[in-house]
Amino acid sequence: MKLSEIASKIRSHLRRLEADKGVNVLNDDGMPRYHKATASEKGRGVKVSYVSYEPPHSLDRESAEAYLRRLDAGYTGTHLDRA
């Protein structure tokens, strides 16, 4: 699968999670877990942004594929969360 396809699928999952009020809960500071979340191909990996005003995270191909597999299986967290 191309990196652009991986990024597109992750982006679709993130948009779904952002729209889900049961998943996209506010933290202690009143900020949502996901805000204008997106993913895009960047070089040899995928950049993932969960909150638009925070710096994006860079995932190499292996990490992006692993995160996509988790999302496809119903996971609702970020790649940083411990499952």
Q: Are 3 and 64 in contact (CB under 8 A)?
A: yes
Tell whether 79 is covered by a domain.
no
- CB count in 10 Å sphere of residue 42: 14
Residue 82 domain flag: no
pLDDT at residue 81, as a whole number? 81
Residue 78 pLDDT > 80, yes or no?
yes
The verdict on residue 24 lying in a domain is yes
- Is pTM beyond 0.85? Reply is yes
Q: What is the pLDDT of residues 25-69, one digit of tens each?
A: 998 889 899 999 999 999 999 999 999 999 999 999 999 999 999
Q: Has residue 77 been placed in a domain?
A: no
Give the domain range for residue 17.
3-72
Phi and psi torsions of 38, nearest 5°: -155, 170
What is the pLDDT, as a whole number, of residue 27?
A: 86
What's the mean pLDDT in 67-82? Answer: 91
